[in-house]
Copies of this chain bind each other. A is one copy, B any other.
Amino acid sequence: MDVFEAVAEPTRRAVLDLLAGRERSAGELVAAFPALTQPAVSRHLRILRESRLVDVRVDGARRMYSLRPDALAELDRWLDTYRRFWAGRLDRLAGHLDAKTGGGREEDTT
C-alpha cells in the first residue's frame, strides 16, 4: 500500500499523531483506540510498517513503534508541485526543503 492510501485512513493518521509525541508500544496504541479491537489496530500498524511510515523496535515482548518520516517527506515532495499555488512567496522555502530531501532542483534561481 502506498503512502497516500496509508495516510488516507483516519485511524492511521491518529496513530501517526500519537507517535509524533513519542514512541509507543503496540499495547499503548491499542489502548488509545477503545472503539477498535487489538487485531484491528495491529493491522493498521502493519500497513504503517509496510509503507515505511513507522519503525519498530523490539523490547522484550513489546514492540515499540516510532515515527519514520521519510515516507511523509515523499508526500511533502508531491505537495511541492502545488505549493506555489497557495504560497508563491514561500517558494524559496520549498526549494530549501527540496534541496534537503532530493539533492537539489533548479527551481529557486531567484
Q: Which residues of A contact B (CB under 8 A)?
A: 4-5, 7-8, 13, 16-17, 20, 67, 69-70, 72-73, 75-76, 78-79, 81-83, 85-87, 90, 93, 96-97, 100-101
Contact = CB atoms under 8 A, between A and B. Distances in A.
B93 A67 contact: no
- Counting from the closest, the 3 A-B pairs by CB-CB distance are A69-B85, A8-B8, A69-B86
Contacts of A7: 4, 8
Contacts of A86: 69-70, 72-73, 76, 100-101
A76 B96 CA distance: 16
Nearest to A69: B85
Taking each of A17, A67, A86, which has the highest tally of chain B beta carbons within 10 Å of its own beta carbon? Answer: A86
